[in-house]
Structure 1
């Protein structure tokens, strides 16, 4: 049966029928007289008219609305923005944000391989406004035969800017992090917050607040534990003045530190004797970084007094720090104190010139060779690769340039030791990762995927209370973690994974500057 016959039969049933969109009635006899091609033209015209009305009612295709058939390439796209997420300093809140996420709200896609992690080119939008500080060469001028050694009161542009939002996401990709390492950071922070005490502090023995985590015994320091808990939270850009899921935990932790600070700036509360200045330095870092991130005026004086106590506690003979104020220094405690001075400097506090001279003096004394390439735990003792890594980070902060011959040779020694060592030692990894990241040479290219994937693989992943932490006893015992405990192990692991954005690059005044390979000096395999 033809299309015309079908229409005729239908019209015969309903008689005189008005057709839509036509301004008159159509009779059956008239329809019989129309040829088949005429009906086809009429029906197609009606179909086009219907389509036009539907498009008009939905807003139409204007000049501003078009369809683009391009697919983003993995090398330049943000794979993490393919999941439902938002990012306003906290990737797990439900607050709307125009910034793409560095992590999604949904579980990680098991099919997303690490090899597909996108890389990004030099970020011109990071320079010059978000440029990291130049090496603090004014700290090391005494090594160059001059006494013109100013303090650290200069302004630094956006020193903590890489920790938040889109800047953090970009730095993760460019500097060598992955979606998986960022997920480990967030899960580790969640574990830390779950084990905060009701008074706002943390303790190294988490059994005081949680009976589900395995018992661990060792040193005690409520101040040190609170600082260790706050530092990775601040390192990820969370702060007490910005709404996020960790805002309240950070606020209570900072309040606890301020409430227990003495008039002279001392932050230590109880604990074993060897933890005294360790704890003060770590807590001072937390106060200074919280102040630098938030610019909260309530933190200005506590941060200033904490730094003042560090200055007063320096050994006047060696220039170092150890367990109690005025004691001859050791390189381990020295490292935490020079980090605290760096955090105070970045927060805008002034560091006295005499303190900086003392720092240089101590490192000169702790050097175990004439060229100041390797360093010992105590003055006069044999060199240690762990202390060498810690001391060389201090040299970097004190102004040694990236191509300093002793720095290059020392970094080579540390890198060679890391290559052959199979020991699990998060304290060593924490300092070595910062040292090599500052250099950004071939040693960093080899070390970064190794330490990153080892930490990703060893994080506890389960539904129990231990999920998100790092067990100091498993999969193999950590050298110091069995003494310091799970909070220590977890905090340093998270801080190590935050190396990509916690501080802006040390040896670039603009993040778009090229990074030539650093020349190698000497044979890193030979040790004295």
Structure 2
């Protein structure tokens, strides 16, 4: 298929006739000029300054009303109905109740960039006060500083260095709680209904955890892969700002970390199954999938908390394993060191990018470069906007979405011709529909289109994707399944069942704040949102 450039040069503006104005001044004396022009100007200027001085004195004695961060954010919202009930309590699914999760981040901590510039975050994401206990062994019993799992060190392919974020945490995750979350949610096009769907799904997901062990189990053909199931189930909680550490209560005395125990148990399970070389036992035969998802969970948990005692070593070792497992052609296979395909590459790149955003983990640039070379080989056409499995013959829209997200993480910006053309294909051919419910495709395509922003996101993709997921969520009246999504008809539904489908649907509804855009434009999208509505 031939590729056409979708960004032609704009037509030149029509040239108008030159206009020359000749102004002739009347002759007048210096005395007349003083009386007619200068004296009146002095009088007007003097009067203005007297009035301004009086107003300044009066206003200076007045105390300006205090405006809460949420009030300031609400003023920028175009559609009031879409914002009612925002910041819902993650464990309360009664529509219309005010949030019990207070804004913990002031608006001025919304960063202009999420990579390529250091950001000094003094505390972990989601909290402006000191954590009650930074000793993670209290939350993850037996996996504190004395653990020999994933020994910390500065040797190997990944070492302590100058990752994209500064301070503690990930700049790319600063939108997961507080005022930054509110602003990201509103700017991106989320609403009260989408957050209610998230709250309901998290409740269902929490109930599916095997509390005695801390893990989750797929209900598809990959039932034995508890590493992948546990890691994938942790991601939506992390995306919602929930961590394994105990956070102080908000100003109203309410808990700010409703699912602390759930996340702590899940992380403990992963750490207990990590081998000395950084890989994980208990994964399926296609274990590089499982390994990458587990690495994403560890990096995100570390990035959100800065918990060096418990998570830094294991996260580093998991990333080192991925770097060493890359095949000569730049791809990853089902097992370490073997050549693979675009789908497997997608999860490895997500893991490497999560690590690269952390202050204390540096990913070799060569790993991204080699992956880009593989993507070049499986990309179709000069614009490289569609991707195949192991060759440049595209077969499914999901693979193209995977390829484009990888391109975004390895250097393409939102205005790259290939990115523009790829998003255009989504709009023309592969829009979200109930008859083609493919969460693997929707998970990737939503991230790509969200990062792309513009009219394609705000007017086309997001409203359809968001509302489709809200509509298809199982109603709360179903005691056992309420809050989940039925298994899709694609790869995720077959292998991962209801659990995997629900996890990806959740992450898709959390896209507004899960990762802030790598390339910031106009106030986190607020101006763009107002322009296209």
Q: TM-score, normalised by structure 2?
A: 0.67
1:152 & 1:203 partners in 2: Cα distance? 37
Residues 23-102 of structure 1: pairs in structure 2 closer than 5 A: 75=77, 91-92=89-90
Q: Residues 442 and 268 (structure 1 numbering): CA distance in 2 closer, same or farther, change over 3 Å?
A: farther
Q: Residues 170 and 353 (structure 1 numbering): CA distance in 2 closer, same or farther, change over 3 Å?
A: closer
Per the alignment, residue 187 of structure 1 pairs with 200
Per the alignment, residue 131 of structure 1 pairs with 112
The number of equivalent residue pairs is 394
Per the alignment, residue 514 of structure 2 pairs with 502
Residues 45-444 of structure 1: pairs in structure 2 closer than 5 A: 75=77, 91-92=89-90, 105=92, 107-109=94-96, 130-134=111-115, 153-156=163-166, 158-197=171-210, 198-205=212-219, 216-218=220-222, 220-243=224-247, 244-271=257-284, 273-274=285-286, 276-297=287-308, 298-316=310-328, 318-348=329-359, 349-419=361-431, 422-444=435-457
Match of 1:480 among 468, 482, 492: 492
Larger CA deviation: 301-310 vs 186-195: 186-195
Q: CA deviation at 1:455?
A: 0.4
Q: CA deviation at 1:282?
A: 0.4
Larger radius of gyration: 1
Q: CA deviation at 1:242?
A: 3.4
Alignment partner of 1:469 is 2:492: no
Larger CA deviation: 222-231 vs 358-367: 358-367
Is the contact made by 1:133 and 1:509 (CA closer than 8 Å) also made in structure 2? Answer: no
Is the contact made by 1:126 and 1:511 (CA closer than 8 Å) also made in structure 2? Answer: no
Q: CA deviation at 1:511?
A: 3.2
Is the contact made by 1:385 and 1:413 (CA closer than 8 Å) also made in structure 2? Answer: no
Q: Residues 363 and 299 (structure 1 numbering): CA distance in 2 closer, same or farther, change over 3 Å?
A: same
Larger CA deviation: 504-513 vs 228-237: 504-513
Is the contact made by 2:184 and 2:524 (CA closer than 8 Å) also made in structure 1? Answer: no
Cα displacement string for residues 46-89 of structure 1 (whole angstroms, at most 9, x for unaligned residues): xxxxxxxxxxxxxxxxx9899xxx9x979479779977x9x7xx
Q: CA deviation at 1:479?
A: 5.4
Q: CA deviation at 1:506?
A: 2.2
Alignment partner of 1:460 is 2:474: yes
Cα displacement string for residues 153-195 of structure 1 (whole angstroms, at most 9, x for unaligned residues): 3435733110012221221111100101011111111111111
Per the alignment, residue 44 of structure 1 pairs with none
2:182 & 2:432 partners in 1: Cα distance? 32
Q: Residues 164 and 428 (structure 1 numbering): CA distance in 2 closer, same or farther, change over 3 Å?
A: same
Is the contact made by 1:134 and 1:508 (CA closer than 8 Å) also made in structure 2? Answer: no
Gaps of 5+ in 1: 1-62, 94-104, 111-124, 137-150, 206-215, 518-528
Q: TM-score, normalised by structure 1?
A: 0.68
2:385 & 2:78 partners in 1: Cα distance? 40
Q: Residues 204 and 404 (structure 1 numbering): CA distance in 2 closer, same or farther, change over 3 Å?
A: same
Q: Residues 286 and 231 (structure 1 numbering): CA distance in 2 closer, same or farther, change over 3 Å?
A: same
Q: CA deviation at 1:128?
A: 7.0
1:413 & 1:166 partners in 2: Cα distance? 35
Q: Residues 252 and 258 (structure 1 numbering): CA distance in 2 closer, same or farther, change over 3 Å?
A: same
